[in-house]
Each structure stands twice: as C-alpha cells, then as structure tokens.
C-alpha cells in the first residue's frame, strides 16, 4: 500500500482550491499533492508550486504555461508544466493520482472532471456545473469504472453524511428516504425589496452573508440559480426524483442540508459555514480528520430560521426544476445560458434581473435533445451560449 494518497487539484487557485490546500497542509503525512492547475494566475500557482512541490502544474494556455516554466526554472523547481484541456485531462487520470478535487468553475471543468471519473479515481466534486451538464455520463463512469463520487458542495456533502453507507446500491426507496431537504441561505437579496433588484450591482451580489466564494457561484447564490443547479446535482448524486427534492431557505447556513425518512425522522448535518469541513470529510472518507474549521458553539447560536423558497423572487429556481423535468440536454442548456448571463452581469452589460430572463429565453429558443452524449452536450452547450449571447447583446444596458 502507498504511504500517502496522491491528490490532483483542478482549479487550485480558486476559493475551493485554496481551502483544499489548507486542509492538505495539515495532513502532509497522509496526502501528497501531485498536480495543481489554474486558468491564468501564474503568480498564485507559482507560490502554490513552491509550497506544495507537485510533479505537475497546468495552465489554461501555452503563454501562461511558458511564463510559469520560466519562473519555476528561476526558482530551481523541477515541475512539469502542461497547458490547456489536454494537460488537465492528463493530470486528472495519472496513475499516481488517487483523488481528484474538481474545483474548476463552470463548463470548463467538464472534460477533466469526466476524465477523472473515467479513470476510476475518487472524485471530490465541487464543480457542480459538470454534473448538471453531463449527469448520466458521470453516473455511468462511476458504475462502469469503479470511481467514487464524493460531493464537496456543502449541501450534498451534508446529505451524503445523513444517508446510510449503502444508499447508492440499495436506492433511496429501500433506505426509507422520503425527501432530501436542501438548505439555502437565500443569498444577499433574500429580503431586498423586489423593485430594487434590477439595480443590484456585482459588488452587492458577490457580498454573500455567510460564505466567501468565487464570483460566479456568488452571483448564482444571489439569483438562487445555485440552489437550482444543486437540485439537479442532488438528482444525479442520490438518484432522487425531482419531487423528492425540496429547497428550504435557512438564512444562517448552520444546517447544511437534511434527509427526511419515512418514519418521520429528519437527519441533519450542522457546522460552521466553512468549505474545509466537506473537503476534509471527502478526503478522509470513510474516516474523519481535522479540518481547521471552528467548532459550533451552541450556547452562542441564537436562532435558526426556516422559510419556503420564494419562486417569484427567484425565477431561476423554477427554471432549474423545469430543466430537470425536461431532461436530456436541457440542464446543459440552462447551465450554458446561465454562465453567459452571469458573466454579462459581472461585466455590467446586463441587469441582475436579466440573468434569469436570458436563461428562460434560451431554454425556449434552443431545443434540447433526449440523448445525452458528450457530443450532444457540447453541441447544445455551444448553441445555448450563442443564443444567450444574442439575447445579452439585445438587452445590454449600462448598469
Ligand atoms: P473560483 O472562481 O474561486 O475558482 C475557480 C478555479 O478554476 C480557479 O483556480 C481558476 O483558475 C480555475 N479556472 C477558471 N476558469 C478556468 C478555465 N477556463 N480553465 C481552467 N481553469 C479555470 O471558484 P470557486 O468558488 O472555487 O468554485 C469552484 C467550483 O466549486 C464551482 O463549480 C462552484 O460552483 C463550486 N463550489 C464552490 C463553493 C465555494 O464555497 N467557493 C461551494 C460549493 C461549490
Ligand atoms: Mg452549495
């Protein structure tokens, strides 16, 4: 048996990537960092390479890769630097890698994340967009290639912890599960007067009350598209019917999600809102290890509140349920349109309230297909991006 488990982190310079390295730093005796990857941030990846001494580093393009090579050479560090999608797929499937943290944001993470699943790795899945786009392909890879799919998204990690160990082979029904209750904080605009939402700025949308995250997921939390993507994610991870998945607004983000059983029991996972808990859980599973996260102080917890989701305030949630019901490539179309709309909002080209409008229009315009193959997913993703881009151009305003 190997002394230390080899870990590749796809998207190591992001919020999840940095939290993962923080956990790994505490357990250098158990884990070895084999590969780190980033989009264009050479300086941060250089620092991480110096601190963690991986064998491989991957940058999104050859120019950035060459800059990183120069810097590593100057520092006399022998790291093999690869570039682009091929580099990502290669490190995700290396024989010396046991666990892959999939923490690239958006559709850019699909192919390497799928490569890790197809190589039979333990896949620590933060990149929910990949699963939303290609759920059936991940389910097949886990089944046929012996991969382990461990959710990092705090809600799904909580649900995973509240289910019996054999839920995947037994099925939710025979485990006595009635419903999966996904909690969500409601984001920064939970109580903002509806007539002010159109004026919301990227800074306001990214100021999440409980979590510090990358900008895309922060905007998704503000529209609650994040919860919508998580409903689709829960469907694939737990083989749950759409009507078995319920969203509960819980502003304090202390209960990370719950499982309701047929006998009336509800199991919940609680903790401080810090992603290092699910990360440490998945790395150590089925064991447990320190994460560096503060412990809950029940004496200081004031109140825990719960509300039903407001579908009028958050149309994105309704759109995600509709895409899940439509099936096929509809979730990939939803995801692609959302990525385009969120980027346009962050670039101040469209209003906050235009994000779900662009997604809705794209879902109406681009016909999905029942067959989910890599080819249909990538093609429908591209068609959705084109349609959403046109809609953004038509709506473009100075915000
Ligand atoms: P982030 O923006 O902070 O980091 C994204 C990482 O991906 C960075 O390392 C970046 O360099 C890399 N990247 C971006 N575009 C790329 C591209 N085109 N090619 C290659 N690499 C690219 O994002 P994040 O907040 O860390 O989120 C990462 C994923 O985890 C997302 O899918 C998000 O939904 C999910 N997630 C995040 C959190 C959180 O607390 N941040 C919680 C749950 C789930
Ligand atoms: Mg989440």
Distance 250 CA to ligand 2 centre (A): 13
C-alpha of residue 60 to centroid of ligand 1, in Å = 13
The residue nearest atom 2 of ligand 1, judged by CA position, is: 214
Please tell me if the CB atom of residue 110 comes closer than 6 angstroms to any atom of ligand 1: no
Q: In the β-sheet with 31-38, what is the strand arrangement from edge to edge?
A: 80-83, 56-59, 31-38, 5-10, 99-102, 122-125, 148-151
| CB 217 near ligand 1, within 6 Å | yes
Low-confidence ranges of the chain (pLDDT < 70): 1-2, 397-399
CA atoms of 41 and 68, how far apart (whole Å): 9
The whole-angstrom separation of Cα 310 and Cα 320 is 14
Question: Rounded to the nearest whole angstrom, what is the distance from the C-alpha of residue 80 to the centroid of ligand 2?
Answer: 33
Q: In whole angstroms, give the CA distance from residue 229 to residue 184.
A: 12
Rounded to the nearest whole angstrom, what is the distance from the C-alpha of residue 12 to the centroid of ligand 1? 8
User: What pLDDT sits at residue 147?
Assistant: 97
The pair phi, psi for residue 2, each rounded to 5°, is: -70, 145
Rounded distance, CA 141 to CA 157, Å?
20
Mutate to test the pocket of ligand 1, among 12, 213, 230, 293 (most ligand atoms within 8 A of CB): 213
Helix-helix angle 315-326:330-346, to 10 degrees: 150
Residue nearest to atom 5 of ligand 1 (CA): 14
Nearest residue by C-alpha to atom 9 in ligand 1: 11
pLDDT given for residue 149 in this prediction: 97
Long-range contacts of 103-106 (CB under 8 A, 24+ apart): 103/9, 103/10, 103/11, 103/12, 103/14, 103/16, 103/17, 103/20, 103/127, 103/152, 104/10, 104/11, 104/14, 104/37, 104/39, 105/11, 105/14, 105/129, 105/214, 105/216, 105/217, 106/216, 106/335, 106/339
Residue 263 has what pLDDT? 98
Q: Is the CB of 41 under 6 A from ligand 1?
A: yes
CA 233 – ligand 2 centroid, Å: 10
What's the 275 CA to ligand 2 centre distance in angstroms?
9
3-state secondary structure the chain: CCCCEEEEEECCCCHHHHHHHHHHHCCCCCEEEEEEEECCCHHHHHHHHHHHCCCEEEECCHHHHHHHHHHHHHCCCCCEEEEHHHHHHHHHCCCCCCEEEECCCHHHHHHHHHHHHHCCCEEEECCHHHHHHHHHHHHHHHHHHCCEEEECCHHHHHHHHHCCCCHHHHCCCCCCEEEEEEEECCCCCCCCCHHHHHHCCHHHHHCCCCCCCCHHHHHHHHHCHHHHHHHHHHHHHHCCCHHHEEEEECCCCCEEEEEEECCCCEEEEECCCCCHHHHHHHHHCCCCCCCCCCCCCCCCCCCCCCECCCCCCCHHHHHHHHHHHHCCCHHHHHHHHHHHHHHHHHCCCCCCCHHHHHHHHHHHHCCCCCCCCHHHHHHHHHHHHHHHHHHHHHHCCCC
Tell me the C-alpha distance between 389 and 338, whole Å: 11
Identify the pLDDT of residue 2: 61
Q: Which residue has the tokens 């899945």?
A: 125
State the ligand closest to the CA atom of 253. 2
Q: Is residue 108 in contact with ligand 1, taking CB distance under 6 Å? A: yes
Residue 139 CA to residue 148 CA, distance in Å, equals: 10
Q: How many residues does the chain have?
A: 399
User: Would you tell me how many other CB atoms lie within 10 Å of the CB of residue 254?
Assistant: 17
Cβ neighbours for 379, distance < 8 A, ≥ 6 positions apart: none
Specify the ligand 1 atom closest to the Cα of 130. 32
Q: Which ligand is nearest to the CA of 217?
A: 1
Q: What is the pLDDT of residue 212?
A: 85
What pLDDT is recorded for position 210?
Answer: 86
Is 130 near ligand 1, meaning CB less than 6 Å away?
no
pLDDT of residue 39: 98
Instruction: Tell me the CA–centroid distance for residue 155 and ligand 2, in Å.
Output: 5
């Amino acid at each position: 048996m190997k002394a230390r488990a080899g870990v590749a982190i796809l998207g190591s310079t992001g919020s999840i990537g940095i939290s993962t390295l923080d956990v790994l730093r505490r357990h250098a005796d158990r884990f070895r960092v084999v590969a780190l990857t980033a989009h264009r941030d050479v300086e941060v990846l250089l620092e991480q390479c110096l601190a963690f001494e991986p064998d491989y580093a991957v940058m999104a393009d050859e120019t950035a890769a060459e800059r990183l090579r120069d810097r590593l050479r100057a520092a006399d560090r022998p790291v093999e630097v690869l570039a682009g999608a091929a580099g990502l797929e290669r490190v995700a499937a290396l024989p010396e890698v046991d666990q892959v943290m999939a923490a690239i944001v958006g559709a850019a993470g699909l192919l390497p994340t799928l490569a890790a699943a197809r190589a039979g790795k333990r896949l620590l899945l933060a990149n929910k967009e990949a699963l939303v786009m290609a759920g059936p392909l991940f389910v097949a890879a886990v089944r046929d290639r012996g991969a382990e799919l461990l959710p990092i998204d705090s809600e799904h990690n909580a649900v995973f912890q509240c289910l019996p160990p054999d839920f995947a082979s037994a099925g939710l029904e025979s485990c006595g599960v009635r419903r999966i209750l996904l909690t969500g904080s409601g984001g920064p605009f939970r109580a903002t007067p509806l007539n002010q939402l159109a004026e919301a700025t990227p800074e306001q949308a990214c100021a999440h009350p409980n979590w510090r995250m990358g900008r895309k997921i922060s905007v998704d939390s503000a529209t609650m598209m994040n919860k919508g993507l998580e409903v689709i994610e829960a469907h694939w991870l737990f083989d749950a019917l759409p009507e078995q998945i319920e969203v509960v607004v819980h502003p304090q983000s202390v209960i990370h999600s719950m499982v309701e059983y047929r006998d009336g029991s509800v199991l919940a996972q609680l903790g401080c809102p810090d992603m290092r808990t699910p990360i440490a859980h998945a790395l150590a599973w089925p064991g447990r290890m320190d994460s560096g996260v503060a412990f809950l102080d029940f004496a200081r917890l004031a109140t825990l509140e719960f509300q039903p989701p407001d579908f009028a305030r958050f149309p994105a949630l309704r759109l995600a349920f509709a895409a899940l019901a439509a099936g096929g490539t509809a979730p990939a179309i939803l995801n692609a349109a959302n990525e385009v709309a969120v980027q346009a909002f962050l670039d101040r080209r469209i209003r906050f309230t235009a994000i779900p409008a662009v997604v809705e229009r794209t879902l109406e315009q681009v016909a999905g297909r029942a067959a989910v193959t890599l080819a249909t997913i990538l093609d429908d993703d591209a068609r959705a991006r084109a349609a959403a881009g046109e809609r953004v151009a038509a709506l473009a305003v100075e915000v």
